[in-house]
Each structure stands twice: as structure tokens, then as C-alpha cells.
Amino acid sequence: MGNIAWIELVFFYGIAMGFGIWQWQKMRREVRQSREARAAREAEEAGSSDAGDDKN
């Protein structure tokens, strides 16, 4: 019966670890995309404000 317990532990903890790693990668991807979007938006705003300064 000892081997069955080890198989069960490895199987269920493997699923839990896999899910945790998947969530961690997903959050890293979302944070990176939001940072890139914010940087692009700030660059666009900075470019439009510079263009507005040239007109004055």
C-alpha cells in the first residue's frame, strides 16, 4: 500500500504545482502586457503634448 500513497501524492501535488505554475506564468504575461500598453499610452501622450507645445 505504500507505493499507492506515493503515486497519489505525486499525482495530486503535481496537478497542484502545475496549476500554480500556469497561473504564475499567466499573471506575468498579463502584467507585462499592461506595462507595455501603459508605456505606449504614455509615449503617445508625451508625443501629442510635445506636438501641442510646438503650436503655441
Closest CA to 16 of 26, 28, 8: 8
Q: Is the pLDDT of residue 8 over 70?
A: yes
Q: What is the pTM of this model?
A: 0.63
User: pLDDT, tens digit, for every residue of 14-52?
Assistant: 999 999 999 999 999 999 999 999 999 999 998 887 766
Rounded-to-integer distance, Cα 48 and Cα 56, Å: 13
Grade residue 55 by pLDDT with cuts at 50, 70 and 90. low
Q: How many residues does the chain have?
A: 56
